[in-house]
Amino acid sequence: MGDITLILGRVREGDAAAANELMDRVYAELRQLAAAKLARERAGQTLQPTALVHEAWLRLGGDEQPAWQNRRHFLAAAAEAMRRILIDRARQRQAVRHGAGLERLELESADIPQALPDDRLVALSEALDRLAEVAPEKAELVKLRYFTGLTLEQVADTQGISHAMAKRWWTFARAWLLHEMQESSRIGEKA
């Protein structure tokens, strides 16, 4: 049993110091995951990896951590928290009061292609929620892979599946999400 799992067990038993120890142990890993995710975000992103980790930690409960079953459960929750934070920020940027539809262009980054625009990120999140209803394990894989930047090998280890299974799930989930996003875009155009 890993150190993280033991610390999570102490958190579950009500050890107040264990939550701080948990943060100390996973902070570097969470920050690395946040940095990888933010590196793939659109240009002009003002959120820093440290801020994303801290905000995710607070959403997870801060010093009052819930009873995590194991490291996988904790990482899945962290991935979901980071996803929701990024989606909330994308929705805020789309809001009319924030200049919806207007795009900031920095001269230094004019030649750099942007990742997903806010409307596509929101569409991805909504499609991911629908995927979670029909295939929660595949949705969890996408969250870990896309929103925290884990490699397929890391996701396979985290989810307790083979690398080959992770590749199949990733291929399925990407195709499923693309189809869903295209369908919702067609419906939006007709409305």
Question: Shortest CA distance to 119 belongs to which of 148, 95, 145?
Answer: 95
Distance CA 7, CA 70 (A): 9
Question: Shortest CA distance to 173 belongs to which of 123, 120, 121, 127?
Answer: 127
The answer, yes or no, to whether residue 132 has pLDDT greater than 90, is yes
The answer, yes or no, to whether residue 185 has pLDDT greater than 80, is no
The answer, yes or no, to whether residue 112 has pLDDT greater than 50, is no
Q: In the chain, where do the E strands start and end?
A: none
Confirm if 165 and 152 have CB atoms less than 8 A apart: no
Q: Which residue has the higher pLDDT, 99 or 184?
A: 184
Residue 44 banded pLDDT, cuts 50, 70, 90: low
Q: Which residue has the higher pLDDT, 68 or 177?
A: 177
pTM of the model: 0.52
Predicted confidence at residue 131, as pLDDT, reads 94
DSSP state of 114: P
